[in-house]
């Protein structure tokens, strides 16, 4: 499968755009189990966050903050027998899943208030292991890397083979590993880019070629 590219405006104060490149990935014989473990842990943290917010709402209590949920559902949970296995995956994967739950609620409340464009959104739902699409996200502080052998090295998973169909335009800021309904794996990289700066570089490069 060729790389797919989509452009979305970043929610930053600058005029940064985000480019996304997806490449087919091929885990070795041992890596699907590690990926399944990471998918499962991320799903549990997301569901725990939804449950904690719903419990607070039904009890008429203030909704827990992202910081409170991080402490309760990740840091403290790892110390319990029921959730000790959360420590078997990258902490960044868990934090990103918690952030996804936070974003889902922000979008839901914005939709209720009418401040979000597009169709009305329902409240975040619990994720299931039977969902057609499963994913985990690694940001830069997870210390993932692309090896000299052009493999995607992921913490607590290993170096995953990637079918590169093009060269990345710049250093990625994050990578999302996706498993689809057909049990295929993809690595989706996000690259931040400044369109004005890119155009300036292209003009400078074009001018240099004309002068040579």
All residues at 6 or more sequence positions from 191 whose CB lies less than 8 Å from its CB, including other chains: 18, 19, 20, 21, 168, 169, 170, 171, 172, 173
CA distances from 212 to 50, 93, 107, 201 (A): 60, 49, 52, 17
All residues at 6 or more sequence positions from 9 whose CB lies less than 8 Å from its CB, including other chains: 17, 18
- 3 state DSSP class of 18: strand
- Over residues 101-130, mean pLDDT: 87
Within 10 A of 191 (CB to CB), how many other CB atoms are there? 17
Separation CA 69–CA 71 (nearest Å): 5
Query: CB of 111 within 8 A of CB of 121?
Result: yes
pLDDT at position 200 = 54
Strands 185-193 and 145-146: unpaired
pLDDT at position 116 = 78
Range of the domain at 65: 4-211
Domain count, the chain: 1
Q: How far apart are the first and last CA of the chain?
A: 38
pLDDT at position 208 = 45
- pLDDT tens by residue, 132-156: 999 999 999 999 999 999 999 999 9
Query: CB of 22 within 8 A of CB of 168?
Result: no
Say if residue 11's pLDDT is above 80: no
């Amino acid at each position: 499968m060729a790389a797919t590219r989509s452009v979305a405006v970043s929610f930053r104060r600058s005029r940064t755009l985000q480019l996304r490149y997806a490449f087919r990935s091929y885990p070795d014989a041992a890596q699907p189990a590690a990926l399944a473990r990471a998918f499962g842990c991320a799903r549990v943290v997301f569901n725990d966050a939804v449950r904690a917010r719903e419990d607070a709402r039904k009890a008429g209590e203030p909704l827990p903050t992202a910081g409170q949920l991080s402490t309760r559902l990740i840091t403290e949970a790892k110390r319990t027998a029921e959730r000790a296995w959360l420590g078997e995956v990258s902490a960044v994967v868990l934090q990103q899943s918690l952030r996804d739950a936070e974003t889902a609620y922000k979008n839901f409340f914005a939709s209720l208030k009418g401040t979000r464009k597009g169709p009305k959104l329902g409240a975040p739902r619990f994720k299931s292991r039977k969902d057609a699409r499963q994913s985990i996200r690694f940001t830069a502080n997870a210390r993932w890397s692309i090896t000299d052998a052009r493999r995607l090295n992921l913490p607590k998973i290993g170096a995953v083979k990637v079918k590169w169909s093009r060269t990345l335009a710049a250093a990625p800021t994050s990578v999302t590993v996706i498993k689809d309904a057909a049990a295929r794996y993809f690595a989706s990289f996000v690259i931040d880019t400044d369109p004005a700066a890119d155009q300036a570089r292209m003009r400078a490069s074009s001018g240099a070629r004309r002068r040579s």
